[in-house]
Amino acid sequence: MERELVTAIYCRTARQSKQGIENQETMLRRYASKNNLGNVVVYADNGYSGASLDRPGLRQLKSDINAGLVGIVLVKDVNRISRKFIQVAQFLNRLKKKSVKVKSVLDGFDFEERVSEMKAMRKALNKFYSVSRKRKKAV
């Protein structure tokens, strides 16, 4: 009998915030339910910066992906994975090689089609550029 792959929900907040994690989880569970994605497992890093990939929840998610347990990863937006574009790209590439789908609910990442992949990368680049510009203006 074939086992059902996990729908992984990944949540992260930079500042310790139970409500922030809960809000992300609620939104992503709603998305999973609406899209008939079952067997949900939540991976969370509360109070961890997006500048580093060394986070307990993300480490467990990567371990489960490598073990072949995960079919899809849901995130609120790509900066929950990392604030560094190159790290996001490397992580997404690793998932694609493992045939793990990625859905980023707010910024439209969907790697099921090549056209969608290009749109998603363009959106991500625009978002990172926008965040970078805001930081520069604040200085």
The answer to whether residue 27 is domain-embedded is yes
The answer to whether residue 11 is domain-embedded is yes
Q: Average pLDDT for residues 51-58, to the nearest whole number?
A: 93
The answer to whether residue 1 is domain-embedded is no
Element (H, E) at 124: helix 114-138
Res 48: pLDDT? 92
Q: Which range of residues forms the domain containing residue 110?
A: 6-138
pLDDT tens, 80-136? 998 888 888 888 889 989 999 999 898 776 766 544 555 566 666 666 655 554 544
Instruction: Give the mean pLDDT of the chain.
Output: 84
Report whether 1 contacts 64 (CB < 8 A).
no
Res 126: pLDDT? 64
The answer to whether residue 72 is domain-embedded is yes
Res 128: pLDDT? 60
Report whether 69 contacts 4 (CB < 8 A).
no
Domain with 102 in it: what CATH number?
A: 3.40.50.1390
The answer to whether residue 112 is domain-embedded is yes
Res 88: pLDDT? 85
State the total domains in the chain. Answer: 1
pTM of the model: 0.79
Res 133: pLDDT? 47
